[in-house]
Amino acid sequence: MKIVADENMPLVKELFTPFGEVETFPGRELGPEQVKNADVLLVRSVTTVNAELLDDSTIRFVGSATIGTDHVDQDYLKQQGIQFANAPGCNANAVVQYVLSVLFRLRPDWQEQTVGIVGCGNVGGRLYQTLQKLGVNCRCYDPFLSDAENAHLTSFEEVIQSDILCLHTPLTTDGSFPTFHLFDEAVLSQLLPDALLINAGRGAVVDNQALLDTLLNVLPQRSLQVALDVWEGEPDILLPLLEQVDIGTPHIAGYSYDGKVNGTTMVRDAFCGWLGETIPDSTFDGMAMADLDVSLLAEAILATFDVEKEDRRMREALLVEGEEIPHSFDLLRKNCPKRLEFHHYNVVNVDTIEAKKMAALGFQRRKF
């Protein structure tokens, strides 16, 4: 069996070699020639999987090690009898880590403010659960959930009046509740004057040109803050928008080592189910615990991942060095420093109150 995969899927050779020959390529270079004689295609979000890619291939299984699926034409796969699997929830904890890092960098008092979450699926739902553990006031908007599933559901009109808005919706263009340009000029104008908008979901959920216009024409009495991890038109992003936002990163919110390994493993498990094979008993974590000598929750979060460093990396590459935007954007993602999630860390010398908050996020506590 021939298996073709995105080279940025960690452990893809270790997990899939028992089932066949694994050949890897950069995700954006996966084209008809690479998949022509393959049986299995394994991708991440940068590869568009459709008829153009697969019509002349022998592909029978497609796996995407991602939560999102807007890069995959699932209707086409069904028509061709090609099995599809993705990895819902694989990097939810990583995105929560990203959002908390943004909050502590831009809003030190954010725990006293109201956080609105638009989209409460795998990622937004995990963020909601985390904020509830920290005692944060939340408003949630998700037309696909019921009050029984989320006690803080509210209308879209109410949620956009939150102090902080976190966007975690898939990108859809049809149906009863399409999300493409959900945050257009009209909606952006309705945000609170000093709101913080964080988009770590899908870039085109926010009309990027409208957002740029809003930031360029902001009134003196407004102090809108914006953190973008996802961008419309990636990897060819709107550079003037990067210049205006408070935090800009190259679609790496979910890029923890744990999240990426989870994605590869979940696709492998689905692949085994498709083959009718027993899932191998394999563990590849092997990461030693690290000690953090911190006293506050903010210090612990930023010690594991400081979003400001990623913002500087991106600005240096795209605004200072002036390299070709799409290529540089992809390199920033590929060379993103290795990031571990909270459960890999022991906190030491922490008082009981702060220790409880850290424990709620997954930090371990070392007692001497």
202 annotated active-site: yes
234 annotated active-site: yes
127 SS3 class: helix
Burial environment of residue 265 by CB neighbours within 10 A (0 to 12, 13 to 18, 19 or more): buried
69 SS3 class: coil
In angstroms, rounded to a whole number, what is the distance separating the alpha carbons of residues 1 and 271? 13
The catalytically annotated residue of 126, 202, 333, 344 is: 202
- Within 8 A by CB and 6+ apart from 186, the residues are none
The catalytically annotated residue of 126, 181, 251, 268 is: 251
Question: How many CA atoms within 13 Å lie on the side-chain side of 353?
Answer: 2
Please say whether the beta carbons of 75 and 56 come within 8 A: no
DSSP readout, 154-191? Answer: --HHHHTTSSEEEE-PPP-SSSSS--TTSB-HHHHTTS
- Name the strand (E) or helix (H) holding 233: none
Please say whether the beta carbons of 106 and 246 come within 8 A: yes
Q: What phi and psi values does residue 314 have, to the nearest 5 degrees?
A: -70, -45
The catalytically annotated residue of 234, 310, 341, 354 is: 234
- Within 8 A by CB and 6+ apart from 307, the residues are 98, 101, 102, 105, 227, 247, 249
- Within 8 A by CB and 6+ apart from 20, the residues are 1, 2, 3, 39, 40
In angstroms, rounded to a whole number, what is the distance separating the alpha carbons of residues 71 and 49? 6
CA distances from 164 to 116, 124, 137, 302, 345 (A): 6, 14, 11, 19, 28
Could you tell me which of 37, 15, 35 has the C-alpha nearest to residue 25?
A: 35
Could you tell me which of 180, 227, 226 has the C-alpha nearest to residue 207?
A: 180
Q: Please give the positions annotated as active site.
A: 202, 234, 251
